[in-house]
Amino acid sequence: MSATLLAGAASLMPAGSASPPDNRARLDGGTVVVPVKGGQARVDPATLGVTARAADGTSLVLSAKAAQDLGPAGDVALRDSAATWHYPKRGLTVTARERAGRLVVEMRSARDSELTWPVSGVDPRASAVQVPRGEGLSIPAADPWWNSERAKLAGGGAIALTDGLTMPFWGWTMGRHGVSYVVPTDIGTTLEFASRAGRLRTATTHAFSEKEETRGYTVAFALTDASPVAAARDYRRWLVEHGQLGSLERKIEENPQAGRLIGAFHAYLWGDGRSKESVERMRALGLDRMWLGYDADARPMTREAVNTANKAGYLVGPYDSWSNAQDPATADAPSSTWPAPVWPDACVRGADGKVKTGFGGRGCYVSSQALAQAEPTHHYLADRTRSMTANGANSYFLDVDAAGELFRDHSPAHAATQARDRANRLARMEMLSRERKLVLGSESAGSWAGGVLAYSHGSSTPVSDHLWALERDRETWGGYAPQNAPDLFFRPAKLTSDAARAMYDPRYRVPLYETVLHDSVVSVERWELGYYKLPEQQTVRALLAMLYNTPLNFTLDGASLKKHGPEIAKLQRFFSHLQQAAGTKAMTGFTRLTADHRVQRTTFGDTALTVTANFGSSPYRGLPGGCVRAEVPGVPDRTLCP
């Protein structure tokens, strides 16, 4: 490849300058060299292979060559501190530059195509990959189980960055170093795991599409340290730099009701659990903070029960969904019944013109664009919200809006790209939180929704495909009967050993979501996985929640409250102590204290709180196995053994 400098060096340098600025890209033979924080990165325009040399002299492979044939590269031009070149065969233009200490590679395609790049984890030093599946995992590259079919990871198919991960980044540990990969152009981008010679690697594919408005693709590489949360720290820094990190403190200032989240456990109520008497019992048990939700069915909480919850200092609100519409004559849930003509005129349609069937084969997915266009005159969303909160509810759970399953709507009446769908969702979530002043939550919230949400249900759970298989087995997992206490939520279930390992083995769990968003969004596990649903995981789930300073969630009716109420109150008292110290502060540290990763420590704020959890069976410096200790400056340490 010819790699000539198109602009003369003298013309690029300020008068009287002896050398270019330190952040300026340059050519070294045929390689583009970009200074980055902690060393320098090198991009080979012939292949898109990326390497780096750390400040201590260590050489690292950040990406293998692109998987597709790029064809010959054109000449490299150096302008405005960046290097730019073209691949005429693919109609692809690439620019590499330094930004905020990272190597940022931006691509623009003139035609629809796919590119698999970067291909990461290929460095011989690559020892573990960090991926924000739910809260987060750090997976050893050579772990036999994770490389096997049983793990349902390698060869399990492409993971969309928009909804398969809670945040659009991943990381690799390489000896004493690490690498962070941030993809702000997450729409149209997927991450896939493969096993090669017993070792994991990752490949990222971006679909360039004019109709989807994804002709641009950006990847930011950063050199980090070897911490399993280093990539999360880098992504948090990226959000701060781009003004996209929300603040719980600010949300509480704007709506003081959001302050009731601090110290609160979360519970979905069924049957007589929604009664005034059950709420009074919670308060009598000493539960001073709770978030209480109820399904949007024909039996919402009464105004009397809601007023009792409000007086107790609780948050209370419906579980609603704006994504499903069904024929009103046969709809199986009130939340799926909309005023005509939402069904079927507002249904998302595919490229073939057919209605996109809704979740679980029910009705259709509702187009956010159709609702947005109709709102100024028909007020479907405003009227629905007023109806749902007429009982005095001060909170709202909007199912799936922030989960990232975005739709390309091909309907001529309300066409929308995935990017428009996301913008519509953000706008209507903002309406609920900032205009209606409801303390808003959504399902498995992606980081892009962190500015408008106060809490997220599901983002704490690293969901594995094993879980979906178990939940489909209604004989053992349970279904929607009986009506007042469905077995799906109340019948204890046993995870398979593979599911338990993939989701709850503390050796692989790392707080990526909390490292990024602890002081922005309150994160909780999935609503169908209440604390008592999985008896064998109760201890590890309690320890993880306390270690990460995140709430436990419960499914309660009158009988379960009577049975478990004292234990819930004990757990909440300990959790309240953690939250009073650091409920709105950033998670500032995570460390594994033992070689087997079974003793772990977190810190919050400027030494405001230190939490140590012992997931093992042997004591660690006075902390028994199965226990967690909280250290707050100026007060005696507290220990919980759930």
What was the pLDDT predicted at 9? 33
C-alpha 449/C-alpha 403 separation (Å) is 9
Tell me: pLDDT of 311 over 60.
yes
What was the pLDDT predicted at 68? 97
Tell me: pLDDT of 11 over 50.
no
What was the pLDDT predicted at 195? 98
Q: What average pLDDT does this structure show over 91-116?
A: 98
Q: What is the mean pLDDT of the chain?
A: 95
C-alpha 318/C-alpha 335 separation (Å) is 10
∠ at Cα 581 (577, 585), nearest 5°? 130
**In this structure, what DSSP letter does residue 121 have?**
S
What was the pLDDT predicted at 220? 98
Q: What average pLDDT does this structure show over 485-502?
A: 97
Q: Which two tokens stand for residue 543?
A: 């320890």
Choice between 303 and 360, residue whose per-residue pLDDT is larger = 303
Tell me: pLDDT of 20 over 60.
no
Question: What residues contact 421, with CB distance under 8 A and at least 6 apart?
Answer: 368, 369, 406, 407, 408, 409
Helix residue spans in 299-454 (DSSP H)? 303-311, 342-345, 368-378, 380-388, 418-430
Helix axes 276-284, 558-582, angle to 10 degrees: 50
Q: Which two tokens stand for residue 287?
A: 């539960």
C-alpha 90/C-alpha 70 separation (Å) is 6
Tell me: pLDDT of 13 over 50.
no
What was the pLDDT predicted at 12? 32
Burial 359-389 (b: 16+ CB within 10 A, else e): eeebbbbbbbbbbbbbbeeeebbeebbeebb
Which band of pLDDT confidence, cut at 50, 70 and 90, is reported for residue 525? very high
Which helix (H) or strand (E) covers residue 9, if one does?
helix 9-12
Instruction: Residue 32: count other Cβ atoms within 10 Å of its Cβ.
Output: 27
Cis bond leading into 341, ω under 30°?
yes
Question: What residues contact 311, with CB distance under 8 A and at least 6 apart?
Answer: none
Q: Are 544 and 506 in contact (CB under 8 A)?
A: yes
pTM: 0.96
| Percent of the chain whose pLDDT exceeds 90 | 95
The 3-state secondary structure of 168-205, one letter per residue: CEEEEEECCEEEEEECCCCCCEEEEEEEECCEEEEEEE
C-alpha 25/C-alpha 15 separation (Å) is 19
Every domain of the chain and the residues it spans: 9-241, 248-628
Tell me: pLDDT of 316 over 60.
yes
- Cα dihedral 94→97→101→104 (10° resolution): -10
What was the pLDDT predicted at 537? 98
Instruction: Assign a CATH topology to domain 248-628.
Output: TIM Barrel (3.20.20)
Q: What is the CATH number of domain 9-241?
A: 2.70.98
C-alpha 130/C-alpha 222 separation (Å) is 14
What was the pLDDT predicted at 21? 54
pLDDT tens, 587-615?
A: 999 999 999 999 999 999 999 999 999 99
